[in-house]
Structure 1
Amino acid sequence: MTDMSKHMRKVLSDVPTLKVFDFSQYVSKIPGIIKFTIGEPDFDTPADVKEAAIKSIENNRTHYAPQRGTTGLLTAIADTLAKKYGLHYDPKTEILVTNGVTEGIYSALTAIINPGDVVLVPTPTFSIYSPDVMIAGGVPVEVDTSATNFKLTPELLHKYLTKYGDRVKGLILVNPSNPTGIAYRQDEINELAELLKNKPIFTICDEIYSELNYDGEYSSMAKVLPEQTILANGLSKSYAMTGWRIGYLCAPAKVTSLIFKVHAFAVTDIATFVQDAAEAALRDGDKATRQMDQQYIKRRDYMYRRLTEMGFDCTQPMGAFYIFAKIPPFLNQDDNELIYQLANEAKVAVTAGSNFGRGGEGYLRFSYATSLEQIKEGMDRLARFCEQAKNKK
């Protein structure tokens, strides 16, 4: 019998699975486990949003949608970006509704990459960007930012632009960041933009956590370099709509039209009633988002305090809902080994920092997108585990 798997695209053998989800499935089988792994809000989708979807289905909005997106949702996206962020995109030509940010990023990278093109990926970061680049035929180059407070600096960017020269096709910029929770100030982004300006380099900006920016004003490459920016955002995190799979891309009209070709052949369109629900969220969902933000801040502050007391050196989260913590010296320094030890002995599940690329080794990512009650119990368990580890030294 012929093993046809040997005759598939060779690059796929080098593309990893999403280890975050693999580990989450593993720990889900452990009775009584408390999970700080997946970045999924524990809140339910707001009632008004669900009612909008139900009403849409009852009105038989279950047929094919326009492939770029419904007029209502495209307009709502444009209005939201203009009102909240001061960004102005034409809903008819510069916005594309996608199957979550994940599909949007994939379609964008597939559309811009030619074989051998380099895309710079500041790490630690969520683990979809490098595999997407590889699948598209490009070369992902990880830029370790652990020595610069997990931010890409002009000095670092200049170093890599000089090294790879004309091969550089794109830069990934995630703001606020998963897994570190850091957020860039606009002046920091402006400095990076100066190095990219008038070069044939795209900035692919994943801003899925833009509504979860607790300690500063909105900042974006789209403000200063819109002609070179592909902006990706969605409703999964800010409106507790992870399962709805709804996102969007914004870019200059000619760029959007070419990305649209990849999107259209990959997914055809996004369900009409889901788009109607997303429109309702953008039009009327601010109150629910603010209430969630207030809860996240309480959770962040509590978890940060407890982890610091235990001896973890933590980044101060400015956005998203993660704490990136350096493993203290009295614990196993291999983060991949430690997460299994914590899951099986302490019944606490966290994510290994090395899953997020270079610079993440020796760190753990804690998600506080779960109830304060669960966080308190999980921190108590972790504290007991740490005390036992210290006593063994």
Structure 2
Amino acid sequence: MKLSDRVNDVPPSGIRRFFELAEEMDDIISLGVGEPDFSAPWSARDAAIASLERGETSYTANRGKRELREAIARDQRRRYGLDYDPDEEVLVTAGASEALDLAFRALVDPGDTVAVAQPSYISYVPGVVFAGGDPLRVPTRAEDDFKLTREVLEEAGAEDAEALVYCYPNNPTGATMTGEELKEVAAFCREHDLLVFADEIYSELSYEHDHTSIATLPGMRERTVVFNGFSKAYAMTGLRLGYAMGPAEAITGMNRIHQYTMLSAPTTAQHAALDALENCDDEVDDMVEQYDRRRKFVLSRFADMGIECFEAKGAFYAFPECPWDDADEFAEAFLHEERVAMVPGDVFGEGGEGHLRVSYATSLGELKEAMARLESFVA
């Protein structure tokens, strides 16, 4: 059976190879998974259970439960002063990944160029390819703390692109961008008429400054689709719930595809998400505080070992330089010899070479043990 050229053009996930190696071993400490080690807040879980007990297991509206869309709109207004119409400009999806896929397919024509800020989440380039677009890799630089700048956009030729996709706080680097730093990116997009796909799934996990949504900057709301969800801040990865916000025509187009594919996001998860938005700010604050403690610990241990690592300020990843020349070789040897899983940075695209992605979304006890094993291994 012949696979399509689009599928053949996309290699298997580089992350999955390390997950599969780790699954074959016992007593693994995983610093490779981008998944919170917390459970979803208790009241959100209780809301999900209660909805099942009431027998609420039917489809919802294609765009998602209206109460949830209204809550999402209120949350954006409260946090960023952004006004989105819950009926026309908000779409609830099966995870933020589905929302991104819908946006690529709805807004990218075959042959369109989409600039992808890298290192990046591994699904962006394949998503563009599956939509028939041509990804243009825009490598950010360690000397800039992996921030997206006008200079790297110009060096990559992004002025000829139709769209830009980026994620800040960033997976895999942990980099963040302030509102001032985003202004030059916004100006570049306005000058060259680029659509923007802004993945803000880690927006709550910004430790040293408040998160700024690019949609709040002048002239950007009308050209930006923002993606977020409940997997990271609310530790609801397995419930698979995300959302997109943007101009009505973009959301309507995305929903047209969503109607024929997913139909509607999981009903039970929507009940949990509604409760999370309304009642769980304190739990989120507590998780963020614990992540910050872990971040500071991991960064301090890299410094103790003499391993170069810029000061990651968001998400739950550090992105140190690899002690060996070959990060892939190092990660595999470290996994086999010390039973600690990390991910080589090159799987996240250009700019990630020679680095390791280290997730600190695990307990402080396991992080201490993993860092002790790393110190022994590099010595």
Superposition TM-score, scaled by structure 1 size:
0.93
- Contact 2:169–2:177 at 8 Å: present in 1 too? yes
Shift of 1:31: 1.5
Q: Secondary structure of the equivalent of 1:326? A: coil
Q: Secondary structure of the equivalent of 2:33? A: coil
Q: Is 2:285 the counterpart of 1:290? A: yes
Q: Which residue of 1 aligns with 2:152?
A: 156
Q: Which residue of 1 aligns with 2:377?
A: 385
- Contact 2:240–2:266 at 8 Å: present in 1 too? no
Aligned with 1:106 (options 80, 101, 105): 101
Q: Is 2:213 the counterpart of 1:220? A: yes
Amino acid at match of 1:215: E
Q: Deviations over 1:326-382 (max 9, x none)?
A: 023xxx311111111000111111010001101111101100000000000111111
Shift of 1:281: 0.3
Cα RMSD, aligned residues only: 1.2
Amino acid at match of 1:185: T
Shift of 1:28: 2.2
Q: Which residue of 2 aligns with 1:254?
A: 249
Q: Is 2:365 the counterpart of 1:373? A: yes
Q: Which residue of 1 aligns with 2:89?
A: 94
Q: Which residue of 1 aligns with 2:163?
A: 170
Q: Which residue of 2 aligns with 1:391?
A: none
Amino acid at match of 2:311: Q
Q: Which residue of 2 aligns with 1:342?
A: 334
Q: Is 2:350 the counterpart of 1:358? A: yes
Cα distance in 2 for residues equivalent to 1:313 and 1:374: 22
In structure 2, do the counterparts of structure 1 residues 160 and 362 end up closer, same or farther at CA, with 3 Å as the change threshold?
A: closer
- Structure 1: which 5+ runs fail to align? 388-393
Q: Which residue of 1 aligns with 2:32?
A: 37
Q: Percent identity?
A: 39
Please identify, of 262-271 and 333-342, the stretch whose mean Cα deviation from structure 2 is larger. 262-271
Cα distance in 1 for residues equivalent to 2:251 and 2:157: 25
Q: Is 2:139 the counterpart of 1:144? A: yes
- Contact 2:120–2:166 at 8 Å: present in 1 too? no
Pairing 1:103-142 to 2, within 5 Å after superposition: 103-142=98-137
Superposition TM-score, scaled by structure 2 size:
0.97
- Contact 1:211–1:238 at 8 Å: present in 2 too? yes
Q: Deviations over 1:245-294 (max 9, x none)?
A: 00000001111101111222121101222111100001111011011011
- Contact 2:169–2:203 at 8 Å: present in 1 too? yes
Aligned with 2:187 (options 169, 188, 194): 194
Cα distance in 2 for residues equivalent to 1:86 and 1:127: 31
Which protein is bigger by CA-based radius of gyration? 1
Cα distance in 2 for residues equivalent to 1:20 and 1:314: 21
Matched residues, number: 376
- Contact 2:94–2:240 at 8 Å: present in 1 too? yes
- Structure 2: which 5+ runs fail to align? none
